[in-house]
Amino acid sequence: MHQVVECVPNFSEGRDQKVIDAIATAIRDTVGCTLLDVDPGASTNRTVYTFVGDPEAVVKGALNGAKAAHRLIDMAVHKGEHPRLGAMDVCPFIPVRDITVAECVSCAKQLGHLLASELDVPVYLYGAASSRDYRKTVAQIRAGEYEALATRIKTAEWEPDFGPSNFVPQWGATMVGVRQFLIAYNVNLIATKEQAHRIALNIRERGRGKSEPGRLPAVQGMGWWLEEANMAQVSLNLTDHDVTPIHLAYEEVCKDAAALSLPVVGSEIVGLVPLRALLQVAEFYIKRDGLLVLEEGQKVRLAISKLGLSSLKPFVPKERVIEYRLGSTSSGSLVRLPTESFVRAVGARTPAPGGGSVAALLAALGAALGTMVGQMTYGKRQFEPLDATIRQLLPIVHDAMNNLLPLVDADAATFKQYMDALKLPKRTAEEEAVRDQALQEGLLKATQVPYSVVKEVNYLWPTLVQLARVCNMGTASDLQVGARCLETSVWGAYYNVAINLQGLRDTARKEELETEMKEAVRVAQEGLQMVLSALAQRKNE
């Protein structure tokens, strides 16, 4: 799996389409870069570009975009609603896949050096790339904006990290840094710019200053006027959507807007958004409103609707959700194989995929059949009195299905780690010790996946018993097959753990796992019989 870095440079041009396109072309034509999104704003006079690639490619892509901007943008005449410091205003690198923050810091420093050496422009490092606390954030560095730069840049405190310590009027300065995924999120108001800004001051983390902080951590914000839409926006940067998720920011804006008797008319996400951030939104409204929404696509649609993300222009998930734009990250994934290909892969003269992957798949299929039974009972008029019960049961089996599917690949991956350990050299005593340690770790890891299968399956039995007592009896055979699959998957997991324990020298852990797995089989056998008995009883009634 190759490394993926995301780069999101913001250029100070959002009105001249020729300039916007020229920068996009420069990035798009860089070998190894995939341009995912171009989001211009006329009022802000700023365009956000989002592209991905390996570390070397994204540095080149950012440099090529900067070269185009250097030819075409003149900051001396630039005006816009958004704060800005330079033609390429900010350029963050964001770790996406198989890459560390430290490696992204290296990308930022490479770009800073290249911008200075090839374009002779000042560059400041920020975020994880900065080593100076007083100039760690964009807000600190951009204080006073472009207009104050001519004076600030000449002071020792604000000497650039790269490039000349003199004012370059046509360019200004660029901030290059490293951050986690930032969500640029704007809430639309029929209000004045001043009213929107008042709400932003209430909400953003730093509020109105140290004596009057705002309510939401990990949030930056301001209010501005969006001329092209004839309305105001509370413009927010959510720097950590696990700390302050999108829905919380939206609801807080709505609360303050209601207090001022101002209508909220939707919102927008600028650039791309992680799938998990939209699912957080969906889960909030599902819980708050007592909804039953299971499928990922439906949850995304719910989030779009609740936030009004299509109020200014259509929010198309396949274009705006980063995971959908990147496509599958599961190259070589077993669960993504066609059924025939998977079966033939199991039947091939190779040790993996083997019994562990098959056990995990059986468990996922068993949970899927339970999900199907719930779906075939819920929402039908003749079973309407059962809707409240099914609403409680269905998410449990559906979540188990989703949790079990990745274990099909995980089992094969842990087996590969063990096989790789077997191939380690053993020519010296030191090499043999390293190899032996790797083998012991590999054996222990190989028990973890089937152990996870067992835990997930055995958690389901009470739910399946309840489902058996109320489900549409036209699906009884499906639930019987599902229950049998689940019990068999526990036996499969038991056998896989047992064979790996044979070589494990950690006696205490070995005995503990043996005891737990024997108990797991007993629980599965008992659970199966309870499901079958409940169905049989209903058939005889």
Give catalytic residue positions: 82, 411
Beta partners for 39? Answer: 48
234 exposed, middle or buried (CB, 10 Å; 0-12, 13-18, 19+)? buried
Give the DSSP H/E element, type plus range, for residue 282. Answer: helix 275-289
Distances in whole angstroms, Cα of residue 13 to Cα of each of 147, 179, 273, 496, 503: 17, 23, 22, 60, 64
Asked whether the beta carbons of 14 and 47 are under 8 A apart, the reply is: yes
| Residues 290, 527, 512: CA angle, nearest 5 degrees | 105
Asked whether the beta carbons of 534 and 510 are under 8 A apart, the reply is: no
Q: How far is residue 355's CA from residue 361's CA, in Å, rounded to a whole number? A: 10
Query: What six digits make up the tokens of 472?
Result: 């549409």
- What is the secondary structure of 51-94 as a DSSP string? EEE-HHHHHHHHHHHHHHHHHH--GGG---SS--SBSEEEEEEE
Tell me the torsion sign for CA atoms 126, 127, 128, 132. Answer: positive
Of 536, 463, 530, 449, nearest to 496 by C-alpha is 449
Beta partners for 90? Answer: 10, 175
CB contact set of 482 (below 8 Å; sequence gap of 6+): 365, 366, 367, 368, 369, 370, 373, 464
